[in-house]
Structure 1
Amino acid sequence: MELRTLRYFPEGEQNCYTLKPEQGRSNNYLIRAVFMYGNYDGKNQTPVFQLYLGVNSWITVKDSYVVHEIIYAPLTDAIQVCLVNKNNGTPYISALEVRQLDNSLYQSGNGALALTSRINLGGSNKIIRYPDDIYDRKWNHDQKNEWIPVTLAPNLTIETSNNGYKVPDKVLGTAVKCVSGPIYVSWQSKFTISKFYVYFHFAEIEKLEGGKQRTLNIRFNDFYNLETLTLDYLKTQTVASFALTGETTYNFSISSVDSGLPPILNAYEIYQHKDFYRLPTIEKDVDAIINIINTYGIIGEWQGDPCFPSSWNILNCSSISPPNIISLDLSHNQLTGPIPEFLAQLPYLRVLNLMGNQLEEAVPKALMEKRNSGGLTLNLDGNPDLCLAGSCKGKNRKVVAIVAPTVSVVVFIILCALAIYWICEKKRKGTRREWSLKAKNWRFTYSEIVNITNNFKSVIGEGGFGRVYHGSLKHGIEVAVKVLSSSSRQGSDEFQNEVELLLGIHHKNLVSLFGYCNEGGKMALVYEYMACGNLQQHLLADRSTNVLTWKERLEIAVDAARVLDYLHNCCKPPIVHRDLKTSNILLSEDLQAKIGDFGLCRVFTTENETHISTDAKGTRGYVDP
């Protein structure tokens, strides 16, 4: 019944189910996701996409029918199961189930246990699950030629009260034995770094003559003795292994210590440990950003964690774990009313862009204090009804018009204004264009640039503009600082062009600008740090190092195409980069591509303008496609 329908997700990069069980966080849950393609779209091509549990990758879904199961203790009250589009078909899902387990079972530490196999031995081919299994585990059947099935007499019951795993009677009531030697349980692993746990479930269901007891020895890969145990009649025992790793083939043998009694096994489970090393975004940050979105009614794709696997397009996050929201761009969103106080509840927020809205009243005191202390870059331009805290006292008073100036005074003022304009125009034409940047709050002093880069200690790149240095803002946020050199082929025009452009647009595949410096001829740009360098470095890397897979190359190309589509078709007026090349495509820690270096880009201010230009721009010897 569960497989007759499915839900598919043609829109958005990630789509998430948020599950909120009553028991909340830090409890063990069994999560089961079922996928059956069934050629529902008529394409006869099974999609391939990524399945995430919160901010951590669970598995790649690639089969036309598959059931993935995992045991997980969430760190938050909500469990988020996300389907992430990897541009290889539309993600879909047939069923999603969550069951609570006993917290003393299946310990996974800082991670989760993904099911490899769960086998009922000696029984029928029918799958056993709820209501026979109170935890709704699915028990599949297996039988080998050398195994002899054993079944409990119908008038007998097995005592399970002493075993917390609560294996169903229907599972424990059947078993296999092998008279020709040990019972072997084995499986393969693609990677030696994978880690596994195995659980063997035993119950003596044969009445042995003379009160004999069966003693079993469990060995791993024929050299390590896992356990020796003696079975009691109609009672259960579970043997759990230690963490198994470092092999590609895992083999357990269960043999009888008493040669007169063959070994027996009722059921077993194998799990692969998932190292969920990523932590979700700090909960206080998540609550604040959700509050902001709900308050302003901002339309967008707000699913899953704000920072990972892909950050929401209005924010940037730190690279530390757990991540913090460090930059928030709410510019040009037609926001109205006062700025809410809870914006100050984002403790690690370093950049807040509210330009181009219709906000009003006073700026919250907490935000102003944070800005004045240097802890926050705050952009409030383009909000004519907004005033700084403490400066709104007479803002709404009625203005009494004074109709006293004479005509001669008016004429004198007009003439003075015209004279000043003529002088300024003459100076502008005779010298380089002056600065018109409005975002004063995004400005760093040169001494701050020196401190950020630790006196320009670490060079991480060099281009036509100058050298790029690694740096750190307050609270350890990593940045890249591009400093204009005296020998640079680019100058102040390109510098101003890049600052004005990046302060006015925002896209997840554009490098974020934290600020700039223009002091006494010394110019610098402060960007977010891209940990994996640029695409050119990876394409030209030595084959002995880690090279990009074809899948990674395709994802990078799609990221670049998305931002170009945004610049050409979504920005009003359109923007053309004019120097797009592999060295200007930067890569984050998870290989997300972001385009940088906008000094040579061009904005078309009218619909009649075209892309045709007689000027040669860009990199010498390189023509932008």
Structure 2
Amino acid sequence: MPALAILARSMAPCKRVPMFLILFILSITRVATTNAIASKVDRFVPQDNYLLSCGASAAVQVDDGRTFRSDPESVSFLSTLTDIKIAAKASLASASPLSPLYLDARVFSDISTYSFFISQPGRHWIRLYFLPITDSQYNLTTATFSVSTDSMVLLHDFSFIASPPNPVFREYLVSAQGDNLKIIFTPKKNSIAFINAIEVVSAPPSLIPNTTTRMGPQDQFDISNNALQVVYRLNMGGALVTSFNDTLGRTWQPDAPFLKLEAAAEAAWVPPRTIKYPDDKTLTPLIAPASIYSTAQQMASTNITNARFNITWQMVAEPGFRYLIRLHFSDIVSKTLNSLYFNVYINGMMAVANLDLSSLTMGLAVAYYKDLIAESSSIINSTLLVQVGPNTIDSGDPNAILNGLEIMKISNEASSLDGLFSPKTSSEVSKTTLTGIAFALAATAALAVVICYRRNRKPEWQRTNSFHSWFLPLNSSSSFMSSCSRLSRNRFGSTRTKSGFSSVFASSAYGLGRYFTFVEIQKATKNFEEKGVIGVGGFGKVYLGATEDGTQLAIKRGNPSSDQGMNEFLTEIQMLSKLRHRHLVSLIGCCDENNEMILVYEFMSNGPLRDHLYGDTNIKPISWKQRLEVCIGAAKGLHYLHTGSAQGIIHRDVKTTNILLDENFVAKVADFGLSKDAPSLEQTHVSTAVKGSFGYLDPEYFRRQQLTDKSDVYSFGVVLFEVLCARPAINPALPRDQVNLAEWARTWHRKGELGKIIDPNIAGQIRSDSLEMFAEAAEKCLADYGVDRPTMGDVLWKLEFALQLQEKGDVVDGTSDGIAMKSLEVTNVDSMEKSGNAIPSYVQGR
């Protein structure tokens, strides 16, 4: 006990220490210790915490102590064709009580996107701040625009025309499944879009459950894949609770404006320190702070014996949407246990009958909450009523309470929180897109037929023996492959659907291997069992499946309601119809039944490369030699993409999660949903919208929107440093100079001190000459301009050389002088010249 020790030393000359003083010191120590432990348990540190003041010239600090980064700092998050920033007039800024977040804005005249790296998948808050400030050129009060993520509409045709120009705050909870979350602003034709401030912040995993009880049928409703919009968050019987006093930066409004009859309610209050939370931690201040549970509305006192009435809160709700209703309770009005019984009603329907908080919490002033789903059919006249009233059966003094209330709109079947609009655009644009897809699929079908026809011919690579060891042709005798004659007799194109989904897929599916029936797919995935999900993307989910003989498969099930997923899915089909390589993930077959679009791949049992670096604590990190071999395999796959066909293919999403490992740790490049055909001989680049993953994205491609195969080379350079350092490409939690892996690693390499930042798990395994060769390859890949970067063939040569250096002897102590390395390189070059092999350009220039 440190406090007692201090006390003993300070009182050493004394013969006696007064007992009351000892007890006082002990009580202070206990309270301080208890508060310290509680604050540690209740504190939540978000993995992702992006706070942007859009259009501001400097960082903005708000009342709760948080700092929002200014536009010059945050511009790297934004992809836009224009750079328009405006500020409120000086008179408004000086005299206004508004939050400083509303005094600047960024304006968009075309579709613009903020991209945020997500380090921990799961639900994230998206908070948007709008105020139509004006300047001499732009009148934001006339702006009409939509806001969406990759997969969810947040606002559709939002404007201030029909309402006074007051600040508007919107708060959403969106599930981020990948490592990138995009917020897309789309102006209406001949209009503009704008935003004043944005928050993208991780939410605690326990905040929103996956399933919740539905009103009416009283069964469970799965909301794990739905987005939520916080419409109301009320503090019953209490004052405004701001983000300064909330555990998660939330704001709770007083409930008085929503009481249908104020005289029916009477506020109750106890000190917040008296509120207790369950010992099992099923409910913590992360759900709601003690200041919410310490106030309540209870039934007002009357002179009528056994008065029976309800307290009613009335709110506006949008028809056609379900709502998640969270009710917060804490019995702060009872004197004894089991003396308060009451009912809860939602839109006149019994939601909770005979609620006895004492039995549920085993105490008074203990926090408790209840979640319910209100069906869209219960929303009548755009009104949502929440009521509490006494149980008419039990005797005693009737009373009912409610401490807090949260109401959240649930996204609908169209993946929207604002009407029946998909995350894409209008039906007019969709028709154009479908027309383009139809032409592309017709070309793909023709190409697939040619491939099918030529499959029985001996491939060119077998006749010339070039790159022989890199290819793994499909085994025609395998039980998973079908002959062309079988494909010609399958049922593609015969399935009739309302949407035409299957028929679109059918026309492009020839030449893609075995045809699986939907029943076979169901059996292989145990009817798409959720625990069998091994991946999720914009297209849908990937399931682990197995055939009757136990062979494992990766089964990708397309989502026909996702326009973006559909486009990426069709791109993958088109690419896979002309790709076959040992270091590319192979397509086994497909399924086209019951309006389903399903592709079946070989299963990569060791999963993504990232998991073997730092992504899974249950997996032992792989050795340096294994990492070299994996990088070489991935480089071979990318080199084949760039050079294996007349035109070549650019992957456009090279990262450690798209490099998969089989049971022998052979690396294979996966996920071709963003791939593009490389420019023709007459072109220098492909002009296209910027797509890819934050942290791996080629900055030159980002700036100029001109795609080349050197964009893949840049991304691969990031992968190489990620393999070496075992940390993410972007980590916002680190100091600013360490956030971006590429910049951080290049800085240390140029200092000659790269050894200080490599993964400790492999630090003692690496020969210094092998490390230098590897790091030089990575450094050259990350050159600012594409013309200065090597080809993937050059990178592959250098990686293979690094492996040779590593294998030439035992690990050294890091003191090799590099002379031997250079002499070995010259010897290797000489041998290449004698054998007639081409020497990479960067070796020629040494």
Per the normalisation by structure 1, the TM-score is 0.45
User: Radius of gyration: which is bigger?
Assistant: 1
* TM-score, with structure 2 as normaliser: 0.34
